[in-house]
Structures are given as C-alpha cells and as structure tokens.
C-alpha cells in the first residue's frame, strides 16, 4: 500500500478514536446532575458536534496527504458552498419556529379531546412541516430530491389511506350501533331491570350507541346496544311500555 494512503487511513482512524473519546467526555461533563437542565438537554447535540468536528479534521488531513491540490481547492469550494448551506439552515430554522407555533396552537385548541389525540395531532403536524422543510433544504444544498419527494408522497398517501379505512370502519360500527339502539329503545325504558350473561342492573339511560346500566354494587356501565340484541336478555319492567302506535289507533 502507498505510504500516502497509509498515513491518510491512520489520520482517519485517529480522528475517529479521538472523536469518540472527546464526545463521550463532553456528554458526561454536560449531563451531570449539577448542570442546569438546559445544558443537560443539549449535551447529546454538543457531543455529536464534537465528534463531527474531529472527523472533519481527520478527513481534511487525509485529503491533504493524498492530494495537496485538492486541499488547496477545498477552501474555495467551501466558500462557494456556504450560501447554499446558509439557505438550507434558514429553511430548517424557519420550519422549526413554524412547527413550534403550530404545535402550541393545536395543543390549546384541542383541549376538549382525549390526551392521546392532544399528543398525536400536534406531533403529526410538526412532522409534516419538518418533512417539507427537509426536502426544501436538501434541494438548496443541491441534493436530488426526486426520490425523497416520491418517498414522502408515498408515506403521506399510506397514512391518508389508513386514516380513511379506520374512519370508514369506525363509521360502520357506529351506524350498526345506532340501528340497534332504535330497536332497544322500543323494548326498554329507564328504570327497567335487565340481566344478560353475568351483567345485571337497572337501566339509567338509553344513549345513541349504548345502554347505561347501574349494577348492584353501585357501578355504572355502558353496554353497546348490539350486545343486547345478540344475547338472551331478562327484563323486569318498572312500568309498562306504551307504544305510540297503539295509542293512535
């Protein structure tokens, strides 16, 4: 092997070892419990930056050993490339700010929904903003984003299709419960006693998709209407059911 390549390889290996040691030391020092939370929060990012800088130094040394002409041209290329990097950085910073604003607005406007939805919806919105920002930043740097664009489009299409299927299946179940509820409401009134399987109690209310029952131990449960129609149910009337159709005859 040529001596130049051996020296270049040695420089890269040494840079990797130094980078690993330095990054671990930085992370350990910044992650101490005595440090402020802000410092602890950026410890991982700073350690990664230290490792990257050490690796860059090793690569530059290796390049200078292998090809001095390329090393002389490197500063000019870096200077010419800086505007693209700055443009990409501006896009990513702007996307981060926009994502934080959107997340805050969504968290405040979704106060009436479940905790899971309050976490997922802002996270999805921020992920979409970040994905588009990464595509724009990559195009600014000069990376061909056609494949990435197709990949992101495929991901969004899959997520949209999955959401549509879930919504459709959920709507079908709700429609079935509503239809069953119309039949149950003709059979039961609040105050009736019902028993089926291992469940027994007094009917408190008849909701659109379920029957609210108070059990003997004081607990309240909601039973889907479809369960009552698919099982044998014992009913003790609190009062006779009056059929409106009979009164009109």
The pLDDT value recorded for residue 20 is 93
The pLDDT value recorded for residue 68 is 72
The end-to-end CA distance of the chain, in Å, is 107
Q: Which residue has the tokens 């408190």?
A: 204
Identify the CATH number of the domain in which residue 221 sits: 2.30.30.60
Instruction: Provide the domain count of the chain.
Output: 2
The pLDDT value recorded for residue 21 is 94
User: Is residue 159 situated within a structural domain?
Assistant: no
Q: Which residue has the tokens 């059979």?
A: 187
Domain boundary among 66, 95, 119: 66
Please tell me what DSSP assigns to residue 242: P
Residues 6+ apart with CB under 8 A from 55: 12, 15, 16, 19
- DSSP lists the bridge partners of residue 212 as 205, 222
User: Is residue 120 situated within a structural domain?
Assistant: no
User: Is residue 185 situated within a structural domain?
Assistant: no
Domain boundary among 66, 81, 115: 66
User: Is residue 38 situated within a structural domain?
Assistant: yes
Range of the domain at 222: 190-241
The pLDDT value recorded for residue 248 is 44
User: Is residue 105 situated within a structural domain?
Assistant: no
Q: Are 50 and 22 in contact (CB under 8 A)?
A: yes
User: Is residue 156 situated within a structural domain?
Assistant: no
Domain boundary among 49, 66, 83: 66
Please tell me what DSSP assigns to residue 2: -
Q: Which two tokens stand for residue 143?
A: 């990376």
Coil, strand or helix at 119:
helix
pLDDT (tens, 9 = 90+) of the chain, 249 residues, equals 567 788 888 888 999 999 999 999 999 998 888 888 877 878 888 888 889 888 888 888 888 877 777 667 767 766 677 778 788 888 888 888 888 888 888 777 766 666 777 777 788 888 888 888 888 888 777 776 666 667 667 766 666 666 565 555 555 556 666 677 776 777 777 888 888 777 778 888 877 767 788 887 777 877 777 777 666 677 777 655 454 544 443
Give the H or E element holding residue 90: helix 68-109
User: Is residue 117 situated within a structural domain?
Assistant: no
The pLDDT value recorded for residue 249 is 39
User: Is residue 114 situated within a structural domain?
Assistant: no
């Amino acid at each position: 092997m040529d001596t130049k390549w051996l020296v270049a390889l040695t420089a890269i290996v040494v840079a990797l070892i130094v980078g690993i040691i330095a990054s671990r030391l930085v992370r350990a020092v910044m992650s101490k419990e005595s440090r402020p939370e802000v410092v602890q929060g950026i410890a991982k990012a700073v350690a990664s930056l230290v490792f990257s800088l050490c690796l860059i130094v090793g690569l530059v040394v290796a390049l200078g050993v292998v090809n001095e002409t390329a090393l002389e041209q490197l500063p000019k290329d870096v200077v010419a490339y800086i505007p693209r990097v700055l443009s990409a950085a501006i896009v990513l910073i702007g996307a981060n700010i926009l994502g934080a604003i959107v997340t805050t607005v969504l968290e405040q406007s979704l106060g009436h929904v479940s905790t899971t939805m309050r976490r997922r919806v802002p996270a999805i919105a921020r992920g979409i903003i970040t994905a588009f920002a990464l595509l724009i930043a990559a195009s600014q740097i000069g990376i061909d984003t056609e494949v990435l664009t197709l990949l992101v489009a495929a991901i969004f299409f899959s997520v949209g299709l999955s959401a549509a299927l879930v919504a459709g299946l959920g709507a079908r179940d709700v429609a079935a419960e509503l239809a069953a509820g119309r039949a149950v409401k003709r059979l039961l009134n609040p105050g009736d006693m019902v028993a089926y399987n291992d469940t027994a109690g007094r009917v408190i209310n008849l909701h659109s998709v379920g029957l609210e029952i108070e059990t003997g131990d004081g607990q309240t449960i909601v039973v889907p209407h479809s369960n009552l129609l698919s099982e044998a149910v014992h009913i003790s009337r609190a009062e006779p059911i009056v059929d409106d159709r009979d009164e009109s005859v």
